[in-house]
Structure 1
Amino acid sequence: MTTREALFDDLSALLGKRGLLTDGGDMERYRVDWPGYRGAAPLAVARPSTTRQVADVVSYCHRHDIPLVPQGGHSGLVGGALPDADYPELVLSLERMTAIRHVDPINFTMSVDGGCVLQSIKDAAAAADCDFPLSLGAQGSCQIGGNVSTNAGGLNVLRYGMMRQLVLGLEVVLPDGRIYNGMKALHKNNTGYDLKQLFIGAEGTLGIVTGAVLKLFPRPQVSRTALLACPDIDAVLKLYALARRSCCDLLTAFELVPRTCLELAMEALPELRDPLETPSPVYVLMEAAASGPADLDAMIENLFERGFEAGALTDGVLASSETQARNLWHIREAMLEGQRNRGEHLRTDISIPISSLSAFHERASHEIQDLYPQATVIAYGHIGDGNLHFNILPPPGLEADERAALLHELEERLFGIVDDFDGSISAEHGIGRFKQSAFLETLSEPEYDIMRGLKHLLDPRCLMSPGRILPRPID
Structure 2
Amino acid sequence: MPSSTPSPTPSEFSADLSARFAALVGERYAIADAGGQGPYLREWRDRYHGKTPLVLLPGSVEEVAAILRLADETRTPIVPQGGNTGLVGGQIPHATGHEIVVSLKRLDKVRAVDPEGNTLDVEAGVTLQRAQEAAEAAGRFFPLTLPSEGSCTVGGNIATNAGGTGVIAYGNTRDLVLGLEVVLPGGRIWHGMRHLRKDNTGYDLRNLFIGSEGTLGIVTAAVLKLFPKPRSVGTAFIGVDSPAAALSLLQVARENGGGTVTAFELLPRRGVDFVLAHGADARDPLAEKYPWYILLEVSSSAELGVGEALEAMLMQAYEKGYARDAVIAASLDQAADFWRLRELLSESQRFEGGSIKHDVSVPVRLVPAFLDKAIAAVEAFIPGSRPLPFGHLGDGNIHFNVSQPVGGDKKAFLDQWEQTNALVHGIVAEFHGSISAEHGIGQAKRALLPGVKDPVELAMMRSIKATLDPNGIMNPGKVL
SS in 1 for 2:235: strand
Matched, 1:398 2:406: no
Give 3-state SS (helix, strand or coil) of 2:373's partner: helix
Deviations 1:407-430 (A, max 9, x none): 111110000000000000111000
Q: Which residue of 2 aligns with 1:216?
A: 226
1:280 paired to 2:290: yes
Residues 417-432 of structure 1: pairs in structure 2 closer than 5 A: 417-432=427-442
The 5 A counterparts of 1:243-392 are 243-247=253-257, 250-293=260-303, 295-392=305-402
Distance in 2 (alpha carbons) for counterparts of 1:344 and 1:51: 42
Report how far residue 339 of structure 1 moved. 1.5
4+ residue segments displaced more than 4 Å: none
Distance 1:443 1:364 in 2: 21
- What whole-Å deviation, never above 9, does each CA across 1:22-49 have from its counterpart, x for those lacking one? 0000001111112122322212100001
Q: Aligned in 2, Cα 1:9/1:122: closer, same or farther, shift over 3 Å? A: same
CA distance 1:404–1:334, shift in 2 (3 Å) = closer
Contact (CA 8 Å) 1:118, 1:141: kept in 2 or not? Answer: yes
Question: Is residue 147 of structure 2 the alignment partner of residue 133 of structure 1?
Answer: no
Distance 1:373 1:403 in 2: 11
Shift of the alpha carbon at 1:248? 5.3
Using the alignment, how far apart are the partners of 1:439 and 1:348 within structure 2?
Answer: 15
Range 390-399 or range 80-89, more displaced:
390-399
Q: Distance in 2 between matches of 1:258 and 1:80?
A: 30
| Aligned-pair CA distance for 1:431 | 0.6
Given candidates 80, 84, 104, the residue that maps to 1:74 is 84
Q: CA deviation at 1:295?
A: 1.6
3-state DSSP of counterpart to 1:381: strand
Distance 1:438 1:243 in 2: 37
Distance 2:332 2:307 in 1: 14
Within-5 A mapping of 1:144-155: 144-155=154-165
Cα distance change of structure 1 residues 4 and 249 upon mapping to structure 2, 3 Å threshold: farther
Q: Provide the residue aligned with 2:212 in structure 1.
A: 202
Tell me how far apart the structure 2 counterparts of residues 409 and 353 of structure 1 sit (CA, whole Å).
24
On the 8 A contact 1:4/1:43 being kept in 2, the answer is no
Q: 1-side partners of 2:13 and 2:377: how far apart?
A: 54
Cα distance 1:399–1:224, how it changes in 2: closer, same or farther (>3 A)?
A: closer
Cα contact 1:394–1:407 (8 A) shared by 2: no
Deviation at 1:272, TM superposition (A): 1.1
- Which SS does the other structure have where 1:305 is aligned? helix
Q: Which amino acid aligns with 1:151?
A: N
Deviation, 1:16, is 1.0
Instruction: Give the aligned partner of residue 188 of structure 1.
Output: 198
Q: Hey, what's the Cα distance between the residues in 2 that align with 1:305 and 1:399?
A: 44
The CA distance in 2 between the partners of 1:418 and 1:455, in whole Å, is 27
Matched, 1:43 2:36: no
Which residue identity lines up with residue 70 of structure 1 in the other structure? P
Three-state SS of the structure 2 residue aligned to 1:146 is helix
Residues of 2 paired with 1:370 and 1:318: CA distance?
Answer: 38
Could you tell me how far 1:294 is from its partner in structure 2? 5.1
Deviation of 1:403 after TM superposition, in Å, equals: 3.4
Letter in 1 for 2:145: S
| Alignment-derived partner of residue 95 in structure 1 | 105
SS in structure 1 opposite 2:271?
A: helix
Q: How much does 1:153 deviate?
A: 0.6
Tell me which moved more, 370-379 or 79-88. 79-88
Q: What root-mean-square deviation, in Å, do the aligned CA atoms of Structure 1 and Structure 2 show?
A: 1.3
Which of 404, 416, 420 lines up with 2:426 in the alignment?
A: 416
Identity, in percent, stands at 40
The partner residue of 1:452 within 446, 455, 462 is 462
| Structure 2 partner of 1:473 | none
For structure 1, the 5+ residue unaligned runs are 471-475
Compared CA separation, residues 249 and 467, structure 1 to 2 (3 A) = farther
Structure 2 portions without partners, runs of 5+: 1-7
